[in-house]
Structure 1
Amino acid sequence: MAETKRPAAASKPAAVRPAAKPTAKPANTKAAAPRAVAKAQPSKGTTDNAKSKVKSDMNDFKAQATDTVRAAATKGKDRATEAVGSISKLIRDSAGTIDDNVGKQYGDYARSAADMVEGFASKMDAKDVDVLAEDARQFVRRSPAVAIGAAAAIGFVLARLVRSGGKDA
């Protein structure tokens, strides 16, 4: 038999890999990273200055808010004192009519009530807002049920006044 020659397989050239890019790493990579982080963080003196500035600004804001609240409370106290004084005057003025219609004894009750309301108004006018707030706290601690009832009654009266005030305008 004749031997057939197989054509010699062309040898495949070895796969050529592209040349790897040179990776240049810094000699000390661990030391470079902390320096970058350290540069991003503000220095301790800067942080302390920022903290003290924020504290100072907050204290200024607190003082300004306290002054505003105290001024509003003083204005409210003055209005309340004026309103209570007006109620006292109204009761005293109606005492004469009560004398004529119901009797002198009931007119005297009205005058006595006017004196008590007027005394309350003068005591309220004489006290500072801080003292009034402390008195209110003590009253609520001693008798919370009465305080809640009084707050509900005052809220009801104020709501009625606001509703009737809107119709007149």
Structure 2
Amino acid sequence: MADTNLPEGTDSIVTDVVATPIADSTEITSRQNGVREALKGGTDKLRSSASDRAMGFVTQGIERSSGALSNVSALIGDTASSIDERLGSQYGDYARSAASAIERAAGNLANKEPDELVDDARSMIRKSPGIALAGAAILGFALVRVVKSGLGSAGDSDRKRKN
């Protein structure tokens, strides 16, 4: 069945091939819109989920921070009498004043919603960006020191286990 009119490299003509019509532009556009809507819906779900998780972490952080401040306040208040004996009553009063200020800050922190804290931080940064930048630098430095000391102690314990 070799046909001599076929291009070089072609052995035979394929029969029983059904031609499919090319989709029109409205069908293609509707498919694209469907895909676009599906992607948009998935993105909205992910964004909502991430936002909910972030708010949960912020709320948990607020609770922990408030508790830590309360503990620091109690510690300072407990040592005020010792400060009275060692350094004088004036310094003990300073310690009690600092303890009450820290306790008020802990109460304020515990009573705020995460959105309020974000708004307060934004307004503080707008009012005094220099102080915010300095605070961020100090926190960054402190965080690096904590991480380095943690890594150093972990490395020391690994060395002790190997020896």
Superposition deviation, residue 164 in structure 1: 4.4
Which one has the largest radius of gyration? 1
Distance in 2 (alpha carbons) for counterparts of 1:86 and 1:156 = 24
Note the residue ranges of structure 2 that are not aligned, 5 or more in a row. Answer: 8-18, 158-163
Q: Could you report, residue by residue, the CA deviation over 1:79-122 in whole angstroms, capped at 9, with x for unpaired residues? A: 21122112111211121111010001110010001100110010
Q: Which residue of 1 aligns with 2:65?
A: 80
Partners in 2 of 1:136 and 1:86 — Cα distance?
A: 24
Structure 2 counterpart of 1:52 = 37
Compute the displacement of 1:163 (Å). 4.2
Tell me, yes or no, if structure 1 residue 104 matches structure 2 residue 103. no
Q: d(CA) in 1 for partners of 2:145 and 2:68?
A: 16
User: Corresponding residue for 1:149?
Assistant: 134
Structure 1 unmatched runs, 5+? 1-19, 24-31
1:135 partner letter: D
Q: Over aligned residues, Cα RMSD in angstroms?
A: 2.8
Cα deviation for residue 73 of structure 1 reads 1.2
Q: Distance in 1 between matches of 2:21 and 2:123?
A: 60
Distance in 1 separating the partners of 2:101 and 2:57: 27
Match of 1:21 in 2: 5
Percent identical: 34
Secondary structure class of the residue paired with 2:130: helix
Where 1:38 maps in the other structure, the secondary structure is coil
After TM superposition, the score normalised by the length of structure 2 is 0.73
